[in-house]
């Protein structure tokens, strides 16, 4: 039945095998019109399979926890991108790798082949805990309190396939930072973690300053401080409690309001922290110590070529100054690879793997700025490393500088793209390199471009940000960019969100960039950061500066053609898939409950009582939601499902429970430890409840017929 069965035999991982077989079977059912479109979309997204702008092909997002890749994994991804996709690896701002133009029917086989080198697609998209990010410099950063890599890996492993986060209202993002000096990722994620060390008792205590509820998108918001210091063994229990709260109370009907930041705003941080505490009894672990491995990674033997001649001395000097830094380990250097648009062709990826094998540790990191970091390069290897990187076009100076623009694929492949971002990025980078060459050393002025308002490229925290939009001129529409200015991090660590200033035709963006940089160089005080300069001058100052570029009288025919296109612009709107969909079909919900009962039984038999309980909890929710939907009662959260079921079915005596209400009956989940006796009882009650609802559904359907 499944053509890739031989690929699964080598995995020796029954859980992964079952997952891949399940995807293949669901694809077959979908192709045979036996599976609802919305339900199938939700399922494939949680397996990293994302619909493209182009019909009939998929983008596959490969989950790379905290961006860590082995040489073997990079080669594996490159080979499979040639076999199944377009031959390009796209690095994302969440340290994933995306490949494009994959046939849906090929995705199970592709996944099976990836898993041979321990690479997963699971939960790279969808309403799940997304890829956990961490600084590429983690473990080698001279300024870090400690290496957060083991903690990021533990969080990734713990929540992968965890029942509590498989079908949430929206996606959930977790990020580690390197310390207080660079908190920005912590403040724009649902959970942000800053490493902290305390030594008050004479013993070093590791922990984290915890922020919750951050996010960008069309309505950005900064995370709030939840814990000044959380002991490191409490990290995973705290996050699990928070995810459970989000799953239970989070919005599920209005997609735009379904992120955790809106729930935090609705409930307030004190209430959220109280609810997290109420969940602690139900957790499978109350303390989760994380194993820390000491010592250096395995390093290659590098010949003493320290006096080797470089092929381009001037370029080497600029590259060495902008892309290389001394690690905290004496004698070793980190080397950044600048990759335009994050797009690495497969031939260059394999060449990079070969070069890494000769000169660096078997530990490549993808950066949040869409580049790569080679680690543990000895000083004597820097010149020969440069020569080989330069020969394949990967020794480009200016990593993570003003001239290293972060950009999403935009209208190239994404359904949500409004105006092009990739072609515009190439134009702006060329202007920076040719007209403002010193900006390859500027790491404060950051430029970020997204194809739509959703901030995949994080334009909401850019010094100079652009996102795709459109402008109307009578009955005509032209491609445009919204200009945002002044984002960044304040000296005291506060994240500064960029402000919308003006919308201009996309074709005017190069002139906008020149005007902004010329103005900054002419009027900024010595050493004044761009974010501070923006606030000193004020939004209206910049609006007046850029207003001439938005004057319709000055628009030309070229302004109606987007970057990278030869045809007149046509506004295309579509529903994005990034966060999945809301499923409101009665039979689908009941079918889900049948599946979750099976999963609960399997978990119980394997001794995973907390998982069995949570699967049973979802049986209660899905079955009750199906019953309510049958009465045309729609709900926007799981807690609302419980309350409405009480209102429509318990108060009239149709359903009775030992407890006073259905809500109290279901929420026994967080009143008990996940022990065997309670698990058996809770599972049996979920089964009885589901069977009663199925019988009622069958009876009502028969009567209707």
Model pLDDT, residue 699? 67
Question: Do 486 and 628 sit in the same domain of this protein?
Answer: no
Residues 542, 597, single domain; the answer is no
Q: How many domains does the chain have?
A: 5
Whole-number pLDDT of residue 1: 41
Residues of the chain whose pLDDT is less than 50? 1-2, 579-584, 703-705
Going by the DSSP 8-state scheme, the letter that residue 575 receives in this structure is -
Dihedral, CA atoms, 177, 180, 186, 192, nearest 10 degrees?
A: 80
Task: Give the pLDDT score at 580.
Answer: 44
Look at residue 493 in the predicted model and tell me its pLDDT. 66
Q: Are residues 283 and 173 in the same domain?
A: yes
In the Cβ-directed half-sphere of 544, how many Cα atoms lie within 13 Å? 6
Domain check: are 84 and 183 in the same one? no
Q: What is the pLDDT of residue 34?
A: 85
Domain boundary among 87, 108, 125: 125
Quote the tokens at residue 191: 């959970």
Report yes or no on 507 lying in a domain: yes
Decide which of 125, 140, 170 is a domain's last residue: 125
Q: How high is the pLDDT of residue 495?
A: 78
- Residue 564's Cβ-count burial label (10 Å; 0-12, 13-18, 19+) is middle
SS3 assignment, position 138: coil
Q: Are residues 415 and 537 in the same domain?
A: yes
- Contact criterion met (CB below 8 Å) for 506 and 480: yes
Q: What is the pLDDT of residues 101-151, one digit of tens each?
A: 999 999 999 999 999 999 999 999 999 999 999 999 999 999 999 999 999
Exposure string for 212-230, b = 16+ CB within 10 A, e = fewer: bbbbbbeebbbbbebbeeb
Residue 530 is encoded by which pair of tokens?
Answer: 């761009």
* DSSP letters spanning 531-549: HHHHHHH-HHHHHHHHGGG
pLDDT of residue 585: 63
Q: Quote the Cα angle for 427-430-431, to 5°.
A: 90
Q: Is the separation of the CB atoms in 237 and 154 below 8 Å?
A: no
Asked if residue 671 and residue 658 are part of one domain, the reply reads: yes
Q: Are residues 145 and 254 in the same domain?
A: yes
Beta strands in 129-251 (DSSP E): 174-176, 191-198, 205-212, 224-231
Do 144 and 237 sit in the same domain of this protein? yes
Q: Are strands 205-212 and 224-231 parallel, antiparallel or unpaired?
A: antiparallel
Dihedrals phi, psi of 61, to nearest 5 degrees: -100, 125
144 in the same domain as 75: no
Domain annotation covers residue 581: no
Closest CA to 668 of 650, 686, 654: 686
Please classify residue 22 by burial: count the beta carbons closer than 10 Å to its beta carbon, then call 0-12 exposed, 13-18 middle and 19+ buried: middle
Within-domain flag for 113? yes
CA distance 564 to 557: 15
Question: Whole-structure pTM over 0.85, yes or no?
Answer: yes
Q: Is 220 part of any domain?
A: yes
> Is residue 568 situated within a structural domain?
no
At residue 225, the pLDDT reads: 95
Distance of CA 546 to the CA centre of its chain: 33
Query: Do residues 258 and 212 share a domain?
Result: yes
Residue 575 has a pLDDT of 56
Q: Give me the CATH number covering residue 96.
A: 3.30.70.2500
Cβ distance 493 to 444 under 8 Å? no
| CB hemisphere CA count around 487 (13 angstroms) | 29
Per-residue pLDDT, 632: 87
- Same domain as 221, residue 88: no
Among residues 358, 391, 424, the one where a domain terminates is: 391
Q: Where residue 505 sits, what CATH number does that domain have?
A: 3.30.413.10
Here the tokens at position 112 are 């099976």
Token pair 């809500």 is at which residue?
663
Range of the domain at 459: 406-560
Q: Are residues 66 and 32 in the same domain?
A: yes
pLDDT given for residue 184 in this prediction: 79
Q: What beta strand segments (E) does 277-326 contain?
A: 324-326
DSSP bridge partners of 345: 88
Residue 470 lies in a domain: yes
**Structural contact between residues 448 and 462, judged by C-beta atoms closer than 8 angstroms:** yes
């Amino acid at each position: 039945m499944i053509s890739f069965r031989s690929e699964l035999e080598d995995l020796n991982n029954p859980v992964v095998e079952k997952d891949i077989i399940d995807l293949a079977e669901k694809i077959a059912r979908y192709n045979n019109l036996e599976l609802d479109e919305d339900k199938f979309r939700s399922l494939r997204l949680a397996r990293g399979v994302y619909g493209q702008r182009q019909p009939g092909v998929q983008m596959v997002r490969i989950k790379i926890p905290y961006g860590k890749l082995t040489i073997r994994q990079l080669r594996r991804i490159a080979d499979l991108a040639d076999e199944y996709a377009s031959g390009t690896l796209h690095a994302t701002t969440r340290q994933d790798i995306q490949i494009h133009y994959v046939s849906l029917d090929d995705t199970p086989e592709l996944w099976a082949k990836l898993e041979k080198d321990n690479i997963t697609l699971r939960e790279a998209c969808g309403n799940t805990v997304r890829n956990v990010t961490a600084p590429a410099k983690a473990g080698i950063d001279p300024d870090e309190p400690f290496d957060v890599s083991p903690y990021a890996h533990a969080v990734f492993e713990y929540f992968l396939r965890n029942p509590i986060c498989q079908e949430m209202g929206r996606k959930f993002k977790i990020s580690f930072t390197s310390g207080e000096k660079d908190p920005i990722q912590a403040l724009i994620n649902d959970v942000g973690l800053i490493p902290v060390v305390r030594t008050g008792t004479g013993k070093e205590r590791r922990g984290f300053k915890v922020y919750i509820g951050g996010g960008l998108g069309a309505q950005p918001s900064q995370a709030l401080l939840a814990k000044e210091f959380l002991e490191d063994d409490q990290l995973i229990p705290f996050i699990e409690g928070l995810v459970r709260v989000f799953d239970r109370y989070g919005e599920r009907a209005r997609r735009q309001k379904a992120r955790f930041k809106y729930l935090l705003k609705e409930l307030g941080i004190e209430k959220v922290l109280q609810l997290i505490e109420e969940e602690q009894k139900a957790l499978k672990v109350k303390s989760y110590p994380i194993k820390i491995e000491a010592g250096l990674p395995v390093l290659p033997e590098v010949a003493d070529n320290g006096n080797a001649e470089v092929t381009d001395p001037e370029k080497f000097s600029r590259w060495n100054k902008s892309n290389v830094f001394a690690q905290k380990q004496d004698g070793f250097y980190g080397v950044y690879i600048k990759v335009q648009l994050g797009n690495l062709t497969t031939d260059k990826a394999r060449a990079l793997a070969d070069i890494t094998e000769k000169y660096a540790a078997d530990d490549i990191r993808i950066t949040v700025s869409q580049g790569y970091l080679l680690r543990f390069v000895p000083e004597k290897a820097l010149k020969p490393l440069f020569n080989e990187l330069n020969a394949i076009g990967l020794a480009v100076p200016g990593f993570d500088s003003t001239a290293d623009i972060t950009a999403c694929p935009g209208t190239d492949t994404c359904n949500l793209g409004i105006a092009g971002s990739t072609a515009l990025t190439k134009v702006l980078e060329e202007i920076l390199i040719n007209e403002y060459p010193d900006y390859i050393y500027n790491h404060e002025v950051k430029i970020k471009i997204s194809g739509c308002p959703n901030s995949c490229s994080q334009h909401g925290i850019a010094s100079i940000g652009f996102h795709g939009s459109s402008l109307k001129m009578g009955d005509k529409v032209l491609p445009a960019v919204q200009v945002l200015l002044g984002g960044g991090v304040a000296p005291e660590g506060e994240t500064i969100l960029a402000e919308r200033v003006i919308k201009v035709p996309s074709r005017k963006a190069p002139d906008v960039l020149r005007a902004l940089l010329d103005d900054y160089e002419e009027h900024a005080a010595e050493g004044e950061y761009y974010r501070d300069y923006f606030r000193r001058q004020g939004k209206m100052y910049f609006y007046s500066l850029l207003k001439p570029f938005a004057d319709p009288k000055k628009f030309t025919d070229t302004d109606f053609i987007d970057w990278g296109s030869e045809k007149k612009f046509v506004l295309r709107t579509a529903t994005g898939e990034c966060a999945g969909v809301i499923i409101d079909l009665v039979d689908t919900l009941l079918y889900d409950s049948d599946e979750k009962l099976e999963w609960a039984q399997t978990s119980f038999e394997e001794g995973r009582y907390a998982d069995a309980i949570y699967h049973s909890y979802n049986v209660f929710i899905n079955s009750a939601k199906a019953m309510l939907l049958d009465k045309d009662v729609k709900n926007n959260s799981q807690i609302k499902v419980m309350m409405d079921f009480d209102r429509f079915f318990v108060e009239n005596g149709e359903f009775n429970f030992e407890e006073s209400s259905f809500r109290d009956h279901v929420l026994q989940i967080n009143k008990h430890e996940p022990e065997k006796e309670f698990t058996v009882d809770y599972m049996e009650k979920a089964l009885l409840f589901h069977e009663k609802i199925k019988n009622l559904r069958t009876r009502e359907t028969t009567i209707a017929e």
